[in-house]
Amino acid sequence: MTNKTSLGLSVFFFLLTLAAVTSDLESDRRALIALRDGVHGRPLLWNLTAPPCTWGGVQCNAGRVTALRLPGVGLSGPLPIAIGNLTKLETLSFRFNALTGPLPADFANLTLLRYLYLQGNAFSEEIPSFLFDLPNVIRINLAQNNFSGQIPVNVNSATRLATLYLEDNQLTGPIPEIKLKLQQFNVSSNQLNGSIPDPLSGMPKTAFEGNSLCGKPLAACAVAGKGTGKGKSHKLSAGAIAGIVIGGVVVLLLLLLFLFCDCCLCRKKKKQDNVESRNIEAAAAAPVPSSAAVAKETTVDNTPPAVANGSSENGAAKNSKDLTFFVKSFGVFDLDGLLKASAEVLGKGAFGSSYKASFEHGLVVAVKRLRDVVVPEKEFKEKLQVLGSISHPNLVALIAYYFSRDEKLVVFEYMSRGSLSALLHGNKGSGRSPLSWETRAGIALGAARAISYLHSRDATTSHGNIKSCNILLSESYEAKVSDYCLAPMISPTSTPNRIDGYRAPEVTDARRISQKADVYSFGVLILELLTGKSPTHQQLNEEGVDLPRWVSSITEQQSPSDVFDPELTRYQAEGNENMIRLLKIGISCTAQYPDSRPSMAEVTRLIEEVSRSSGSHSPLSG
- Partners of 364 in the β-ladder: 358
- Please count the residues of the chain: 622
Binding ligand NAG by CB under 6 A: which of 59, 76, 91, 109?
A: 109
Binding ligand NAG by CB under 6 A: which of 105, 242, 256, 295?
A: 105
Nearer to ligand NAG, 169 or 354 (CB): 169
Query: Which of these segments, 100-108, 156-164, 318-326, 578-586, binds ligand NAG (CB under 6 A)?
Result: 100-108
Nearer to ligand NAG, 105 or 386 (CB): 105
Query: Which of these segments, 47-55, 323-331, 372-380, 473-481, binds ligand NAG (CB under 6 A)?
Result: 47-55
478 is a contact residue toward ligand NAG (CB under 6 A): no
Binding ligand NAG by CB under 6 A: which of 53, 60, 98, 122?
A: 122
User: Binding mask 123-162 vs ligand NAG (x if CB under 6 A, - otherwise)?
Assistant: -x---------------------x-x--------------
421 is a contact residue toward ligand NAG (CB under 6 A): no
Nearest distance from C-beta of residue 204 to ligand NAG, angstroms: 4
Binding ligand NAG by CB under 6 A: which of 3, 49, 302, 430?
A: 49
Torsion of Cα atoms, 335 then 339 then 341 then 345, to 10°: 130
Q: Which of 118, 121, 82 is nearest to 99 (CA)?
A: 121
Nearer to ligand NAG, 124 or 237 (CB): 124
Binding ligand NAG by CB under 6 A: which of 66, 85, 354, 468?
A: 85
498 is a contact residue toward ligand NAG (CB under 6 A): no
Binding ligand NAG by CB under 6 A: which of 93, 119, 121, 186?
A: 186
- Contact positions with ligand NAG (CB under 6 A) in 161-180: 167
Q: Edge-to-edge, what's the strand order for the sheet holding 324-325?
A: 324-325, 398-404, 407-413, 364-370, 352-358, 342-349
Question: Residues 6 or more apart from 444 whose CB is under 8 A from it?
Answer: 479, 525, 526, 529, 582, 607
* Cis geometry, peptide bond prior to residue 217 (ω within 30 degrees of 0): yes
Nearest distance from C-beta of residue 250 to ligand NAG, angstroms: 16
Nearest distance from C-beta of residue 154 to ligand NAG, angstroms: 17
Binding ligand NAG by CB under 6 A: which of 56, 63, 84, 243?
A: 84
Q: Which of 449, 451, 503, 440 is nearest to 473 (CA)?
A: 440
Question: 232 near 387, Cβ under 8 Å?
Answer: no
413 is a contact residue toward ligand NAG (CB under 6 A): no
- Distance separating alpha carbons of residues 195 and 620, to the nearest angstrom: 64
Q: What is the DSSP string of 174-221?
A: PPP---S--SEEE--SSEEEEEPPGGGTTS-GGGT-SSEEESTTSSPP
Of the chain, the end-to-end C-alpha distance in Å amounts to 80
Site size for ligand NAG (CB under 6 A)? 25
Query: Which of these segments, 43-51, 156-164, 347-355, 388-396, binds ligand NAG (CB under 6 A)?
Result: 43-51
Q: What is the DSSP string of 403-448?
A: EETTEEEEEEE--TT-BHHHHHHS-TTSSPPPPPHHHHHHHHHHHH
Cβ-in-10-Å burial (0-12, 13-18, 19+) of 593 comes to exposed
Query: Which of these segments, 10-18, 42-50, 305-313, 473-481, binds ligand NAG (CB under 6 A)?
Result: 42-50
Question: Residues 6 or more apart from 422 whose CB is under 8 A from it?
Answer: 266, 267, 268, 469
- Distance separating alpha carbons of residues 447 and 525, to the nearest angstrom: 10
Nearer to ligand NAG, 164 or 473 (CB): 164
Question: Residues 6 or more apart from 509 whose CB is under 8 A from it?
Answer: 492
Nearer to ligand NAG, 84 or 426 (CB): 84
- Amino acid in position 343: A
Q: Which of 56, 123, 112 is nearest to 86 (CA)?
A: 112
Question: 218 near 205, Cβ under 8 Å?
Answer: yes
Nearer to ligand NAG, 85 or 465 (CB): 85
22 is a contact residue toward ligand NAG (CB under 6 A): no
Nearest distance from C-beta of residue 533 to ligand NAG, angstroms: 19
Query: Which of these segments, 1-9, 104-112, 511-519, 594-602, binds ligand NAG (CB under 6 A)?
Result: 104-112
Binding ligand NAG by CB under 6 A: which of 6, 7, 10, 30?
A: 30
Interhelix angle 577-589/600-613, nearest 10 degrees:
170
- Contact positions with ligand NAG (CB under 6 A) in 192-211: 193-194, 204, 206-207
- Distance separating alpha carbons of residues 510 and 465, to the nearest angstrom: 9
358 is a contact residue toward ligand NAG (CB under 6 A): no
- Amino acid in position 85: N
Nearest distance from C-beta of residue 125 to ligand NAG, angstroms: 6
Binding residues vs ligand NAG (CB under 6 A): 30-31, 34, 47, 49-50, 82, 84-85, 105-106, 108-109, 122, 124, 146, 148, 167, 186, 188, 193-194, 204, 206-207
